[in-house]
Amino acid sequence: MCLAIPGRVEEITTEGDLRMGRVNFGGIVKRVCLDCVPEVEVGDFTIVHAGFAISKIDEESARETLALFQEMGALDEEFADEDQTMQRAAGLTQPACPDGSCADESTKSGSRLI
């Protein structure tokens, strides 16, 4: 899943020509590119997608959205590290033919396969 998640800007720095920041997503802090939202300052809330801040958001909307995502369990999935993602995927039951091409081979030719 790939969500745009609100977070609070805790620090702003520059890396070369890029404006970067540390953004807190309800306790999870990530490094984020802030170049697309030059109006965002420390203490502001921003919507982040794929490591890029894409818009400024008011605090009330940000907190409501974070609470909803937490309730849905979406933040656990979105912020999982690679090992956690692989463990979760390994526990899922996968169909033999995800596209359905091998489903019920006996009915394709009109006769039963033995």
Is 9 within a domain?
yes
pLDDT for res 73: 73
Does residue 108 belong to any structural domain of this protein?
no
User: In whole angstroms, how far apart are CA 12 and each of 7, 39, 52, 57, 60?
Assistant: 13, 12, 13, 17, 22
Domain CATH number, residue 47: 2.30.30.140
Task: State the Cα–Cα distance between residues 83 and 49, nearest whole angstrom.
Answer: 21
pLDDT at 88 over 50: yes
Residue 52 falls inside a structural domain? yes
Range of lowest pLDDT (31-35, 39-43, 64-68, 104-108)? 104-108
101 belongs to a structural domain: no
Domain presence at residue 37: yes
Residue 26 belongs to domain spanning: 5-90
Q: Is residue 38 part of a domain?
A: yes
What is the mean pLDDT of the segment spanning 81-89?
57
pLDDT at 57 over 50: yes
9, 45 Cβ separation under 8 angstroms: yes
26-53, pLDDT tens digit by residue? 788 999 999 999 999 999 999 999 899 9
The structural domain count of the chain equals 1
What is the residue type of 50?
A
Task: Write down the pLDDT at residue 1.
Answer: 45
Q: Report CA Rg, the chain.
A: 21
Q: Are 32 and 23 in contact (CB under 8 A)?
A: yes
Is residue 81 scored above 60 in pLDDT?
Answer: no
Is 96 a domain residue? no
Residue 26: strand, helix, or coil: coil
81 versus 24: the higher-pLDDT residue is 24
CB burial class (10 A; 0-12, 13-18, 19+) of residue 62?
buried
pTM of the predicted model as reported, rounded to 2 decimal places = 0.63
Q: Is residue 104 part of a domain?
A: no
